[in-house]
Amino acid sequence: MAKPAGATLIQTLRRYVKKPWEITGPCADREYRHAIPKSTEYRLECPATTKLKAIVPTSDPEAVFDIKRTVLKKANVVKMMKEQAFKVVDLPLVYLAGAVEEDINTRGGGYQK
């Protein structure tokens, strides 16, 4: 026997349309609508905006890096190298200050055999 068209339509709707409490996920919770922020609360500032200005640590004119184009010629470099003098105090100290003394009296001349 054939079912009436209305009963078939109701069964189809029951299969595809679910009750809200049968839906799983965050939208099934009662507080779901309250968790969505308003458009005025969501993003108050653009992420790319800077909140503070940059502070330059050295603002002395001598300490600020001045970018200028300089051309060094060989004569100028030779002159600068002649003017520059190195002192012994300016150079780093040598790690080994004294002579190495070997103990010849040890067995094997200081080496284990």
| Residue 113 pLDDT exceeds 60 | no
If one compares 50 and 113, the residue with the highest pLDDT of the two is: 50
Residue ranges covered by each domain of the chain = 1-39
Note the pLDDT of residue 97. Answer: 61
| Residue 106 pLDDT exceeds 70 | no
Q: Band of the pLDDT at 108, cuts 50, 70, 90?
A: low
Read off the pLDDT of residues 18-75 as tens digits, 9 standing for 90 and up.
Answer: 776 676 776 666 776 666 778 888 888 888 887 788 776 766 777 666 677 778 899 9
Read off the pLDDT of residues 81-103 as tens digits, 9 standing for 90 and up.
Answer: 899 887 877 777 776 566 666 66
Read off the pLDDT of residues 2-20 as tens digits, 9 standing for 90 and up.
Answer: 678 888 888 888 888 877 6
- Distance between CA atoms of residues 113 and 104, nearest Å: 15
Note the pLDDT of residue 74. Answer: 93
The number of helix segments (H) and strand segments (E) in the chain equals 4, 0
Q: Among candidates 7, 33, 10, which has minimal Cα distance to 20? A: 33
Residue with tokens 């679910």: 18
- Distance between CA atoms of residues 50 and 57, nearest Å: 18
